[in-house]
Structure 1
Amino acid sequence: MPANNQGPIVVGIDGSDNALHAARWAAAEAAQRHRELRLVHAMDDVSLSYPRPLPLSDDMSGILRMRGQRLLRTARDAVRDVDPTLTTHLELSHRGAAPTLIEESETAGLLVLGTWGLRPTGRMLAGSISIALAAHAKCPVALIRGHVAEDEPPTEGPVVLGVDAGPSSEEAIAFAFEEASWRGVPLVAVHAWDDRFLAAVFEETRHELHWPAVEDHERELLAQRLAGWQEKYPDVRVDRVVRRGRAAEQLLDLADHAQLIVVGSRGRGGFSGLLLGSTSQAIMSYALCPVLVARHHGGE
């Protein structure tokens, strides 16, 4: 994995079925790559002292500790169903989930989180912790949930990559090529451009917009962003897709038939929403396949 080829794969365990789905997905990834797997549970004493501190008795702390150990053992059993020979470590933290997992991300190759289940619309909603971790983690973050009817995440289909014009796609491109190579599947590189903004600008300036020229420019931009990567990964078949419209909508349309979608984040700014960008957040909230957010660190 481009971020840290030697780092372990870390899974956040919170006791939900979604976390078990994530642990099984991560176990398959770790087994394929001969990587260590770390299952981490945060007891999160902070949540018990909000909005004002409440003293925790030794009995309560002991109950939280036993619960955390039980959740980790359950996750370990789920992982063993995938590969009983996999090296797995259990970690119980007394801090909140976000600071614990951000610290884990400093040495991890990948941080894996389970997401909430299906909404009535057939989609899922990314939680605030997922968004915060995708924005601030030091390694790529994968969001995993069970698919329709509680099945495992899809293992068929291509890897879909979102490519924009800025540097935020650099880590995402590297990760997507490696994932496609590992999985032995095609890579669909998608670049979308929003024609409504350009149309409004040219309408205000009373200039005529030549759409074929704009589309040629966007195709050249995508070719430049992928330059060199196909030579580095000759085994990966790349399908270049350039579409007019909002990036999130175009990516989600293709992601419904993919086994993984990879997007980048800007990697600068203080607020998690600004840090990720609207496209990444939309993909995290509505994609029907696992989502991997590769954060760009160039702005730090």
Structure 2
Amino acid sequence: MNSANGAAVVVGVDGSESSLRAVRLAAVEAAHRNRPLRIVHGFIWPLLRVPVNAPAGGPPGAGLRHQAEQVVTEAAAEAEATVPGLRISGEIIDGEAAAVLLGEAPAAAMIVLGDRGLGGFSALVVGSVAVQVAVHADCPVLVARGTDRADGPVVVGVDGSEAARLAAEFAIEAASVRGAPLVALHAYQHPASTGPGDMQPLVHDEGELRSEEERVVAESTAGLGERWPDVPVRRETTRGRPTTVLAEASRRARLLVVGREGRGELTGLLLGSVSQSLLHHADCLVAVIRAPR
């Protein structure tokens, strides 16, 4: 995460109800972190050489650029109503949605997006915008989806990787500002063969296997309790596919946090089945955290 003074929480807007939900979420996140809110609208029409200004003799307020200005104005009003007095700025930036948001990422504390949209943000979670932003953004990406809950834990998926460690740090901070407990959840399966000549035994010592998996969770969360003593931390290991286990955990969570690169089933998170399942089926907010390059 960009921790520089003044780094804003950035929210992408397009005028849809989903993006207004993202604005409300982003406003609260900015207030929790004492950061400004930056509202951004990717304005693709100039790239397509479509006339964007009002036609001569047209009615007041006509034209695509005026519509874009209204989108940003409405979003700013929604943010102000959500958190009165919040430092808010807005900008229309010519370009395709994902490119515009990725351009914001290096200086952002976080990017917040809705899970459905209009225009450049259409089908956000199932299309290319979400994949591009979450895979390439140099900051956490928070997707407003699922059910908004006032109770329940923050859940973080951990696997012993550096990305999971950073996800756990993000998650416990998020739990602290929400006054929520943290559940560090690790899903595991029996070892499998990785190729010819690497056959795994058919019988495993369940006790040894569980001890090893519990060590993974402990490593991913080591020291967090001392840094955030106000947050109760529960560590869980569960046998099963990460996709299934994390999606099920999201049904009781306020927020689900995952690392973008991991080990085993979490490797290449946003490019594989785990991420697609979570972004489609998680029943709460989803935050994706990347490890430094």
- TM-score w.r.t. the length of structure 2 is 0.85
Aligned counterparts, 1:143-292, within 5 A:
143-145=143-145, 147=147, 153-195=148-190, 197=192, 204=199, 207-266=202-261, 274=268, 276-278=270-272, 279-292=274-287
* Matched AA of 1:98: A
Distance 1:202 1:240, change over 3 A: farther
| Structure 1 equivalent of residue 120 of structure 2 | none
- Partner SS state of residue 165, structure 1: coil
Quote the Cα distance in structure 1 between the aligned partners of 2:96 and 2:15.
15
Distance 2:200 2:33 in 1: 55
* Aligned alpha-carbon RMSD (Å): 2.8
Q: CA deviation at 1:228?
A: 1.4
- 2:58 is aligned to none
- Segments of 5+ residues of structure 1 without an aligned counterpart are 50-54, 118-123, 148-152, 268-272
Distance (Å, rounded) in 2 between the aligned partners of 1:58 and 1:255: 42
Secondary structure, counterpart of 1:243 in structure 2: strand
Deviation at 1:198, TM superposition (A): 6.6
Give the aligned residue type for 1:295. Answer: R
Q: Distance in 2 between matches of 1:59 and 1:249?
A: 49
For the residue of structure 2 that corresponds to 1:234, the secondary structure is coil
Partners of 1:277 and 1:140 lie apart in 2 by: 16
Quote the offset at 1:29 in angstroms.
1.6
Q: Which residue of 2 aligns with 1:105?
A: 105
Counterpart contact for 1:4–1:107, Cα < 8 Å? no
1:128 counterpart = 2:104 = no
| CA deviation after TM superposition for structure 1 residue 5, in Å | 5.7
Q: Where does residue 270 of structure 1 map in the other structure?
A: none
In the alignment, is the contact (CA less than 8 A) between 2:145 and 2:286 conserved in 1? no
Kept after mapping to 1: 8 A contact 2:154/2:182 = yes
Aligned pair count?
A: 275
Residue 114 of structure 2 corresponds to 114
Question: Structure 1 residue 114: deviation in Å?
Answer: 0.4
CA distance in 2, matches of 1:60, 1:172: 46
Task: Give, in whole Å, the separation in 1 of the partners of 2:276 and 2:171.
Answer: 18
CA positional deviation for 1:203: 11
- Superposition deviation, residue 168 in structure 1: 2.1
Per-residue deviation at 1:77?
Answer: 1.6
The alignment's TM-score, normalised by the length of structure 1, stands at 0.83
CA pair 212-3 structure 1, distance change in 2 beyond 3 A: farther
Gap change, CA 1:77 and 1:204, over 3 Å in 2? same
Distance between the aligned counterparts of 1:198 and 1:238, measured in 2?
Answer: 34
What SS does structure 1 have at the residue aligned with 2:143?
strand
Ranges in structure 2 where 5+ consecutive residues have no aligned partner: 56-61, 118-123
User: Which structure's residues are more often helix, by fraction?
Assistant: 1
8 Å Cα contact 1:264-1:280 kept in structure 2: no
Deviation at 1:226, TM superposition (A): 1.3
- The letter of the residue matching 1:248 is T
For each residue in 1:244-292, what CA deviation from the matched residue of structure 2 results, as whole angstroms up to 9, or x when unmatched? 110121111111111111100129xxxxx94624323322221111100
Give the corresponding residue for 1:27.
Answer: 27
CA distance in 2, matches of 1:211, 1:29: 42
Asked if the contact 2:165–2:221 (Cα under 8 Å) also holds between the matched residues in 1, the reply is no
**Cα distance, 1:159–1:206 mapped onto 2, change above 3 Å:** closer
- How far off is 1:86 after superposition? 1.0
C-alpha deviations, 1:38-77, integer Å up to 9, x for none? 110011137x73xxxxx43464798221111011111112
* Contact residue 266 and residue 277 of structure 1 kept, 8 A: no
* Residue type at the aligned position of 1:99: A
Contact 1:162/1:191, CA 8 A, preserved across alignment? yes
The AA in structure 1 aligned to 2:12 is: G
**Stretch of structure 1 that moved more, 20-29 or 30-39:** 30-39
CA contact (8 A) 2:254 2:284 kept: yes
Q: Aligned partners of 2:91, 2:236: CA distance in 1, in Å?
A: 42
- Describe the SS at the equivalent of 1:106: helix
Aligned CA distance change for structure 1 residues 5 and 291 (closer, same or farther; 3 Å)? farther
Q: Residue 18 of structure 1 aligns with which residue?
A: 18
> Are the aligned partners of 2:39 and 2:89 in contact in 1 as well (CA < 8 Å)?
yes
SS of structure 1 residue aligned to 2:108: coil
